[in-house]
Structure 1
Amino acid sequence: MAQTAEPDSSASAARPAMPMRHGPDSVADLAERLLDAVVNVSTTQIVADKRSVKPPKLPEGSPFQEFFEDFFNRRGRRNEPNGGVPRRVQSLGSGFVVDGENGIIVTNNHVIDKADEIVINFNDGTKLTAELLGTDSKTDLAVLKVKPVKPLKSVKFGDSQKIRVGDWVMAIGNPFNLGGTVTVGIVSARNRDIRSGPYDDYIQTDAAINRGNSGGPLFNMYGDVVGINTAIISPSGGSIGIGFAIPSEIAMRVINQLRQYGETRRGWLGVRIQQVNDDIADSLGLDEAYGALVAGVTPDGPAAKGGIQPGDLILEFDGRKVDSMRELPRMVAETEISKDVAVRVLRKGKEMTLAITLGRLEDFENGNKEDEQVEEEQEPEVAQTGEALGMVLAELDPALRAQFKIDDSVTGVVVTEVDPVSPAAEKRVQAGDVIVEVAQEAVATPADVEARIKELADDGRRSVLLLLSNGTGELRFVAVRFDEIAEPEDDKEPAQ
């Protein structure tokens, strides 16, 4: 597998001394050594001119009506994608050289997305046209290649895992197309999830990052790249001291795959997971909230073949503890395809270890379809009703399926009403939800639900875990606490 290259001799000079306790006195020597490895990425995209002006409103039968309609119709046809006048749209970003011999440059995917032409502008004024080797939208990374006349100045990746909150870092980029710009700050936080993708694990910094810094490197005080600047939070578009960088730990793996294959090759487990909160942890008998709760399993996927079931709580993956739900997708994606991994799960109060052979995520995303299942029609029966946890329950029948638009593939007990001041309402349970399981036991009638809840209450449980489905079959877990349930009043009207 291709590896990101070591820098040339000019970039591997002796590391500077560690910064002073109160911050570095100067980063001039460090910046001078690194500036030439940071580039400006200029892109051009050809788009059809879709600008249009609405015709004026004229009285019906006006002598000018026919003239204006003819004029604007001709103008509209000229501005259509197939007949309009094309425009050149340009954008700017930053990048950096990781292999000077082979001309390999790293930047953000959003910097070069949909570009027809990519030009790399170097610090000495040199301009080279770049070839796109590969992109990954999930981590917002792209790898480019130029043909250098001579070896380029390059930098190397450092270990982002060693970065601590409070460490000094330096960003170099090309904001506002002003040329190489250096800013310095500290690591404000780590492991930030800004919900930009499935593998968010950003380094947050207060080093000024502005428009045009995207794709540029974030250096530690040794001159190693520990992050790739990619996003900011700002109401004005300028820096307010909240910037985010992709950690080198994540970036290096993706970059190596893009260099070698032109695409990513991530592991795939085939589960839909949910965060474990304190209520869910309590309903499962856990002292602390951790792990990833399986809300759904892809038919014929690796997890299904290995025996993972909805309701399983994944505690460990390949020997690593799953502290939170969002850690599992990264663990799986970073694992080699076709590898046999041990997955430790908690199922109905018992721990077990399952052997799973991972698939490839991209194969599934590129068109593997789930087989449709057709169930045989059954004779309708008289529907049962019941009440529990502030919910009015009913047995599913054709009329209720039609009323709440519930697919035939969904089975369980339908919720027809929810008391707005009940604990179920606080967990956003609503009419039309279907209870599939109660405490990891399948239910088919309201009596099943009531009996299972009574059993748990008699066992001293403080909450009950419900597996709910919406009308299309999408599953989620909610935990409802028993100690929030009010006693029913005698004069309360019976459920209809």
Structure 2
Amino acid sequence: MKHAARTLAFVARFVVLGLAVAFVIGLFWPGSGAFLRQRLAPASAGGQVTAPANAPGSAPASYADAVAKAAPSVVNIYANKLVTEQPRELYSDPVLQRIFSVPTGPARTRRQQNLGSGVIVSDDGYVLTNNHVIANADDIQLLLYDGRVAKARVVGSDDETDLAVLKVDAGNLPAIHMTDAESRPRVGDVVLAIGNPFGIGQTVTMGIVSAIGRQLNLSSLENFIQTDAAINFGNSGGALVNAHGELVGINTSLIGQAVGAEGIGFAIPVQSARDVLDQIVQTGHVVRGWIGADYGAVPVSADSGLPSAARGVVVNEVSPGGPAALAGIQQRDVLLRIGDEDILDPSDLRRHEASLKPGVPVKISGLRYGAPFSATVTPAQRPPSAPMQALRQP
């Protein structure tokens, strides 16, 4: 017992002495702790401590690899057209114009150039851009990433989605990699906008996906990706890519500072662009289905017979003689299902309707005054509609 007590006292004296020495060293050499930890920490093969690479949730220090992968596929577009200007009258008042009629000369014709961007989507020369970039142009020149200048022709365009397909005859064209349906962007994903703002040359801006499924015009087929990546005049038709350099959208419009907005830009999802591209390449134009009915959100009320979280649409109007009228669909019908798919809301049905093939019957089911019903509709080809009007098109 006495031996154990002597041993314990001996150890205690050395512990106290060690703490005293550590206190003195810490007092006169404050950085000694960090120095010893660095010297005694396990080192890598190179003698340095390395952090784990590609840790979950970590962001890359640079997006240069993504830009290097995507940038060669983005082209600058210079669309030229002849514009005729009528001579200006000296007086705006019609009476004064008749009294002091002074010839102001003949109408003048000048060449106008529209700036934009485009994305090479196939190595055989197909380029996606915005329709408003090349509309009415009689000469379209592309500046490629490697400095070559090539002339392009319009294969086809689609006003409703504001997309156009160009064809350029040149070799060694780097086609961009487009994401598939399983790789759709999520809110919060980092995205890069590549284009030719103000004609200063190819420029990259970074942001995140702010929202998906945005609509600026409720009567259109819009399904925008919203981003805060800077999109300026000349960026139209350029690429919106993810952090891996894969195409997720075609930059098309923005809400400008004129209305007090900042960092609100829009891109057409690559899935929509791919559908338009395929149809234009195959047929030269886009064909969409039409059921001949106008519909809106379902008004939920106590006597509607629908749950509080109702899906579907309510039919507001049926076009006389249209496919819906011929199938017996009536005003105030609630449509819940089309084919094998549930109808989520009006924008969802518009997308389903547009994808229908004219002449191919489809079953539509829903509720009529609370009772289930179904009808077989044979879609027609969608009639022409007014072009999409964005709040501001860069």
Correspondence for 1:254: 276
Cα distance 1:329–1:178, how it changes in 2: closer, same or farther (>3 A)? same
Instruction: State yes or no: 1:99 paired with 2:122.
Output: yes
Correspondence for 1:478: none
Query: Secondary structure of the residue that 2:317 maps to in structure 1?
Result: strand
Deviation at 1:338, TM superposition (A): 2.2
Distance, in Å, in 2 between the alignment partners of 1:151 and 1:196 is 42
Instruction: State yes or no: 1:339 paired with 2:375.
Output: no
Cα distance 1:176–1:56, how it changes in 2: closer, same or farther (>3 A)? closer
Distance, in Å, in 2 between the alignment partners of 1:298 and 1:153 is 47
Correspondence for 2:26: none
Deviation at 1:151, TM superposition (A): 2.5
Distance, in Å, in 2 between the alignment partners of 1:278 and 1:232 is 34
Correspondence for 1:268: 290
Distance, in Å, in 1 between the alignment partners of 2:278 and 2:300 is 39
Cα distance 1:267–1:119, how it changes in 2: closer, same or farther (>3 A)? same
Q: Give the residue type in structure 1 aligned to 2:286.
A: T
Deviation at 1:314, TM superposition (A): 0.7
Contact 1:199–1:329 (8 Å) recurs in 2: yes
Q: Which of 21, 31, 37 is the equivalent residue of 2:67?
A: 31
- Gaps of at least 5 residues in structure 2 are 1-52, 386-394
Deviation at 1:202, TM superposition (A): 0.8
Alignment map for 1:76-155 (pairs within 5 Å) = 78=106, 84-101=107-124, 103-148=125-170, 150-155=171-176
Correspondence for 1:287: 307
Q: Which has the higher contact order (CA 8 A, sep 6+)?
A: 2
Cα distance 1:323–1:19, how it changes in 2: closer, same or farther (>3 A)? farther
Q: Give the residue type in structure 1 aligned to 2:120.
A: V
Alignment map for 1:81-480 (pairs within 5 Å) = 84-101=107-124, 103-148=125-170, 150-159=171-180, 162-195=184-217, 198-236=220-258, 240-279=262-301, 282-288=302-308, 289-361=310-382, 364-365=383-384
Query: Secondary structure of the residue that 2:306 maps to in structure 1?
Result: coil
Deviation at 1:196, TM superposition (A): 7.3
Distance, in Å, in 2 between the alignment partners of 1:318 and 1:128 is 45
Answer with 48-57 or 208-217: which moved more.
48-57
RMSD of aligned C-alpha atoms?
2.6
Distance, in Å, in 1 between the alignment partners of 2:373 and 2:254 is 43
Q: Which of 69, 77, 85 is the equivalent residue of 2:100?
A: 69
Instruction: State yes or no: 1:40 paired with 2:76.
Output: yes
Contact 2:87–2:108 (8 Å) recurs in 1: no
Which has the higher Rg, Structure 1 or Structure 2?
A: 2
Correspondence for 1:379: none
Distance, in Å, in 1 between the alignment partners of 2:323 and 2:92 is 61
Distance, in Å, in 1 between the alignment partners of 2:129 and 2:67 is 19
Distance, in Å, in 1 between the alignment partners of 2:236 and 2:242 is 18
Contact 1:42–1:91 (8 Å) recurs in 2: yes
Contact 1:211–1:238 (8 Å) recurs in 2: no
Distance, in Å, in 2 between the alignment partners of 1:54 and 1:325 is 52
Distance, in Å, in 2 between the alignment partners of 1:275 and 1:243 is 26
Contact 1:107–1:142 (8 Å) recurs in 2: yes
Contact 2:226–2:266 (8 Å) recurs in 1: yes
- 1:391-419 Cα offsets, whole Å, 9 max, x none, are xxxxxxxxxxxxxxxxxxxxxxxxxxxxx
Contact 1:41–1:119 (8 Å) recurs in 2: yes
Deviation at 1:159, TM superposition (A): 2.8
Deviation at 1:239, TM superposition (A): 8.5
Distance, in Å, in 2 between the alignment partners of 1:294 and 1:333 is 17
Instruction: State yes or no: 1:54 paired with 2:90.
Output: yes
Q: Give the residue type in structure 2 aligned to 1:28.
A: A
Contact 1:211–1:237 (8 Å) recurs in 2: no
Deviation at 1:20, TM superposition (A): 6.7
Distance, in Å, in 2 between the alignment partners of 1:88 and 1:238 is 33
Correspondence for 1:401: none
Query: Secondary structure of the residue that 1:145 maps to in structure 2?
Result: strand
Q: Which runs of 4+ in 1 moved over 4 A?
A: 17-20, 236-239
Q: Give the residue type in structure 2 aligned to 1:187.
A: V
Correspondence for 1:468: none
Contact 2:191–2:242 (8 Å) recurs in 1: yes
Query: Secondary structure of the residue that 1:191 maps to in structure 2?
Result: strand
- 1:178-226 Cα offsets, whole Å, 9 max, x none, are 1111112111111111117611111111111111111111111222211
Cα distance 1:36–1:237, how it changes in 2: closer, same or farther (>3 A)? farther
- 1:63-87 Cα offsets, whole Å, 9 max, x none, are xx99x935x3x21x51xxxxx1101
Distance, in Å, in 1 between the alignment partners of 2:60 and 2:312 is 41
Correspondence for 1:416: none
Cα distance 1:198–1:98, how it changes in 2: closer, same or farther (>3 A)? same
Contact 1:227–1:246 (8 Å) recurs in 2: yes
Cα distance 1:19–1:259, how it changes in 2: closer, same or farther (>3 A)? farther
Contact 2:70–2:241 (8 Å) recurs in 1: no
Query: Secondary structure of the residue that 2:100 maps to in structure 1?
Result: helix
Equivalences, count: 330
Query: Secondary structure of the residue that 1:333 maps to in structure 2?
Result: helix
Deviation at 1:19, TM superposition (A): 9.0
Cα distance 1:291–1:256, how it changes in 2: closer, same or farther (>3 A)? same
- 1:106-143 Cα offsets, whole Å, 9 max, x none, are 00011111212111111222111111011111001000
Contact 1:109–1:140 (8 Å) recurs in 2: yes
Distance, in Å, in 1 between the alignment partners of 2:63 and 2:305 is 53
Contact 1:160–1:226 (8 Å) recurs in 2: no
Distance, in Å, in 1 between the alignment partners of 2:112 and 2:63 is 36
Cα distance 1:283–1:44, how it changes in 2: closer, same or farther (>3 A)? farther
Cα distance 1:19–1:112, how it changes in 2: closer, same or farther (>3 A)? farther
- Gaps of at least 5 residues in structure 1 are 1-16, 79-83, 367-496
